[in-house]
Amino acid sequence: MPENSLEIQVVTISLSLLICGVGIAGNIMVVLVVIRSKHMMTATNCYLVSLAVADLTVLLAAGLPNISEVVASWIYGYAGCICITYLQYLGINVSSCSITAFTVERYIAICHSIKAQFICTVSRAKKIIACVWIFTSLYCIMWFFLVDTNETVYANGAVVRCGYRVSRNLYMPIYFLDFTLFYVVPLVVALVLYGLIARILFRDPLPTNLSEHRLSVHQGRRQSSVKVSCRANSAAASRKQVTKMLAVVVVLFALLWMPYRTLVVVNSFMDPPYLDTWFLLFCRMCIYTNSAVNPIIYNAMSQKFRAAFKRLCVCKCRMYVDAVVALVTLMLDTVPLSCSDHQSDAHIRNSIADHHYVDGETGSPVQEQHVLLQLDLDQKTGLQVCRIF
């Protein structure tokens, strides 16, 4: 029974756990910061949420099962084979479509700024995302009928793999269709549209709103003109930064998917196919990295995403924890451990009123009502403050 070498197993498990762990955590953070923050809910960010969910699907359906498969045979059965394969291609195709969608959205926003006010809206973005997921979900249904589990018996045991149901040659039209629809077309569209965007951003001045233009012309005041100019420059800089960030996402998508896509095309004309173990591992790691790297790009190139990530990582309960710790400290020094009588409760409230609390996150003073509200909530739920620790 053939087995992967120890080096292959160690490298595969280590890299898969690292890349998938970082990617899963990062993409979850992207979804949370956009959903929970109103100022982050823009049309572009809606497409980035769709991309994050698609990348999560790839990492969970492709990256994690690869860890168990490298050390043993297929352990997920027939149902797992068809479902995991379906989710893999669903995530891959939705990721490609999401990149194409936000590329078109950026082109409209930059090159047709007046139309963008009516076209590039959050509601329209949600409808487009829903159509993308429905289309790709229906398109990938064919994989339910194209894969199966295959068992190979050896002298020292049997190996089960999730593989093709029929001959490999019959899958070539499907692979070339995927290669064209979800790799070549998105890259051609991105190349053309980002070329037009670059011409507008870096060669021609961005048009300002008509109201701002009238303000600077008719008011005739230097101060107003300066303010309008600053706002226009700030908007232009913001658009450039967002466009650069999305362009980096597209470039990495092209580079990291190129080894696998090239291998599929080359193997279509080779018999037997080229299946070097280390090169296959390299192709897989590139795919996983493509699904994990986007949140890192957002954090590095977007000030809004970086601030939102920081807010998400900071524990919002620190204010209440500091208040409770100070409260319990006062109680242990001045009152008995029993908190059931009204006299102790009144003493606690007086202690709170005489003590000054500070928000651990912002450093600003915490009002007395906030601390008393936490105490009342604990009493209403039947949890005595003395019993928290």
Is the CB of residue 17 less than 8 Å from the CB of residue 67? Answer: yes
Q: Is the pLDDT of residue 258 over 70?
A: yes
The three-class DSSP label of residue 270 is coil
Q: Write down the domain spans for the chain.
A: 6-202+246-313, 318-387
The three-class DSSP label of residue 78 is helix
Least confident of 148-162, 187-201, 250-264, 360-374: 360-374
Distance separating alpha carbons of residues 39 and 36, to the nearest angstrom? 9
What average pLDDT score do residues 252-268 get? 91
Distance separating alpha carbons of residues 309 and 229, to the nearest angstrom? 31
Tokens of 203: 């060669």
- Give the per-residue pLDDT at 208: 47
Would you place residue 4 in the very low, low, confident or very high pLDDT band (cuts 50, 70, 90)?
confident
The mean of the pLDDT values for the chain is 79
- Give the per-residue pLDDT at 266: 86
pLDDT-above-90 percentage for the chain: 43
What average pLDDT score do residues 51-66 get? 94
Q: Is the pLDDT of residue 68 over 90?
A: no
CA–CA–CA angle 365, 368, 369 (5° rounding): 120
- Give the per-residue pLDDT at 58: 96
Straight-line distance from the first to the last Cα atom of the chain, in angstroms, rounded to the nearest whole number: 56
The three-class DSSP label of residue 41 is coil
Least confident of 68-82, 97-111, 120-134, 366-380: 366-380
Q: Please enumerate in sequence order all residues whose Cβ is within 8 A of that of 223, keeping only pairs 6 or more positions apart, or say none.
A: none
Selected from 3.40.190.10, 3.40.605.10, 1.10.10.10, 1.20.1070.10, the CATH number assigned to the domain covering 6-202+246-313 reads: 1.20.1070.10
pLDDT-above-70 percentage for the chain: 71
Q: Residue 382's CB: how many other CB atoms inside 10 A?
A: 7
Could you tell me the sign of the dihedral formed by the alpha carbons of 175, 181, 184, 186, in that order?
negative
Would you place residue 318 in the very low, low, confident or very high pLDDT band (cuts 50, 70, 90)?
low
- Give the per-residue pLDDT at 213: 45
- Give the per-residue pLDDT at 268: 80
Could you tell me the sign of the dihedral formed by the alpha carbons of 47, 52, 56, 59, in that order?
positive
- pLDDT tens, position by position, 272-310: 888 888 999 999 999 999 999 999 999 999 888 988 888
Which of 81 and 328 is assigned the larger pLDDT?
Answer: 81
What average pLDDT score do residues 188-200 get? 92
Minimal CA–CA distance to 116: which of 197, 228, 225, 215?
Answer: 197
